[in-house]
Amino acid sequence: MSIFQAIILAIIEGLTEFLPVSSTGHMIIGSSVLGIAENPFVKNYTVIIQFGAILSVLVLYWKRFLKSFDFYVKLLVAFIPAAIIGFLASDYIDMLLENVIVVAITLLLGGIFLLFVDKIFEQNEKKPDSEPNLKSAFIIGVFQVIAMIPGVSRSAATIIGGLTQKLTRKAAAEFSFFLAVPTMFAATSYKLLKIYQSETGFTSHDIQVLAVGNIVAFVVALLAIKLFIGFLTKHGFKVFGWYRIVVGLVILGMYFAGIDMNIV
**Rounded mean pLDDT of the chain?**
89
Is 243 inside any structural domain? yes
Q: Is 62 helix (H, G, I), strand (E, B) or coil?
A: helix
If you average pLDDT over residues 238-245, what whole number do you get? 95
Is 47 inside any structural domain? yes
Q: Kindly tell me if the per-residue pLDDT of 33 is higher than 60.
A: yes
Q: CA-to-CA distance for 98 and 88, rounded, in angstroms?
A: 18
Please give the residue range of the domain that contains residue 94. Answer: 3-256
Return the higher-pLDDT residue of 128 and 122: 122
Tens of pLDDT, residue by residue over 141-150, are 999 999 888 8
Is 261 inside any structural domain? no
If you average pLDDT over residues 193-200, what whole number do you get? 75
Query: What does the pLDDT read at residue 138?
Result: 97
Confidence of residue 264 (pLDDT cuts 50, 70, 90): very low
Beta carbons within 8 Å of 168's beta carbon, 6+ residues apart: 124, 125, 127, 128, 129, 130
- What is the percent of the chain where pLDDT is above 70? 95
Is 193 inside any structural domain? yes
Q: Kindly tell me if the per-residue pLDDT of 209 is higher than 70.
A: yes
On the 0-12 / 13-18 / 19+ scale of CB atoms within 10 A, 209 is buried
Is 264 inside any structural domain? no
Is 224 inside any structural domain? yes
Is 263 inside any structural domain? no
Whole-prediction pTM: 0.89
Number of structural domains the chain divides into:
1
DSSP class per residue in 137-184: HHHHHHHHHHTTSTTS-HHHHHHHHHHHTT--HHHHHHHHHHHHHHHH
Is 98 inside any structural domain? yes
If you average pLDDT over residues 28-33, what whole number do you get? 84
Tens of pLDDT, residue by residue over 65-117, are 988 889 999 999 999 999 998 878 766 776 666 678 888 899 999 999 999 99
Q: Kindly tell me if the per-residue pLDDT of 263 is higher than 60.
A: no
